[in-house]
Amino acid sequence: MIKPLLAALGLALVSASALAAPEDILKKSGCLMCHQVDKKVVGPSYKEVAAKYKGKKVEAQLFDKVRKGGGGVWGPVPMIPHTPQQISDADLKTVIAWVLKQ
């Protein structure tokens, strides 16, 4: 009796995370401190990222870049690594898909 209830609760929590609006995830994760949709801040705008990678399968590459950080692609300021504690794998995948549609 308890196991099905816990399983249902877990599914509800996963579903709620999957339904989170990308903009809310970006805000909660601190991404908007360095990036904006349509203007360069510290890092490129999301529209610049989408334009650069239009038509390319780069989701895994961008996921890795966010996790490990790095520099040299968009200028001299490197992006710091972002851990799963800062943004979950599911949320990061949601955000990357959203960014690439800008």
Each residue's pLDDT tens digit, 63-88: 999 999 999 999 999 999 999 999 99
Measured in degrees and rounded to the nearest 5, phi and psi for residue 76 equal: -80, -15
Question: In the Cβ-directed half-sphere of 99, how many Cα atoms lie within 13 Å?
Answer: 25
**7 pLDDT more than 70:** no
For the whole prediction, is pTM greater than 0.85? no
- Report the alpha-carbon angle 78-29-15, nearest 5: 135
